[in-house]
A = this chain, B = another copy of it.
Amino acid sequence: MMNASTIATEAAHPQALVMVDTALFTIHDERLCLILARRREAPFAGALALPGGFVHIDEDADTESAARRVIRAKIGFDAPYLEQLFTFSGAHRDPRGWSLSVAYYALVPATLLDASQMAEAFAVDALPALPFDHDRIVARAVQRLRDKATYSSLPAFLLPETFTLNELHRIYEHSIGTRLDKASFRQKIIEQGIIEPIAGSFRTGAHRPAQMYRLSRSTLTAFARQI
């Protein structure tokens, strides 16, 4: 029978530090933002960084559970969308030694965040300097979001439960970073069937009321073609 010390002998190698880091996207003032955390401990105590922490193998079922735990600690609830991004590793990314960080990215509607949480949201194109290799994590997360926005329902997870087609249109444009034709966008979204109108529900304002919609599925839907 094997026990921990047998394993250590078998592996016969010094151990890597295993952690998770999370890129929490939200929208603020029509801009794509990331929620940062101020580090309480060394290294880089006091600096703003991506929320993260060590994997606790006695407590976390897997790294995704660890990421969920980190996110809950940060915002108080589970993000509507969470996906593994990439695993970063090496001797120099953390001064404490050879480390491995499984990075996740999540999308959080701004409506679910309170003022103090929104105060820690920074536009992705105006982030402060970040410690470790968090710049690389951010770059990859933004790239992933942009890529995936072109062929899936991903950006919808930045919106509240209900939204108008124009709101969805704008969030796609902000996610992808390019202008999208209104007529084509509406047609494609409708025919993909990712959203459904909420009968009788309209956003009223100064002008013509807008039909409210909700996502048909709570999970990501990939499109056959690009948006």
Task: Give me the interface of A with B, judged by CB distance under 8 Å.
Answer: 2, 4, 7, 10-11, 13-18, 54-58, 61-63, 84, 86-91, 95-98, 100, 102, 225-226
Contacts and interface: CB of A to CB of B under 8 A. Distances in A.
Nearest to A147: B222
A61 B10 contact: no
Contacts of A4: 14, 97
A225 B95 CA distance: 42
B54 A11 contact: yes
16 contacts: A2-B97, A4-B14, A4-B97, A7-B96, A11-B17, A13-B56, A13-B57, A14-B58, A15-B15, A16-B55, A16-B57, A57-B98, A63-B89, A87-B102, A100-B102, A225-B226
A15 B155 CA distance: 36
Nearest to A96: B7
A100 B18 contact: yes
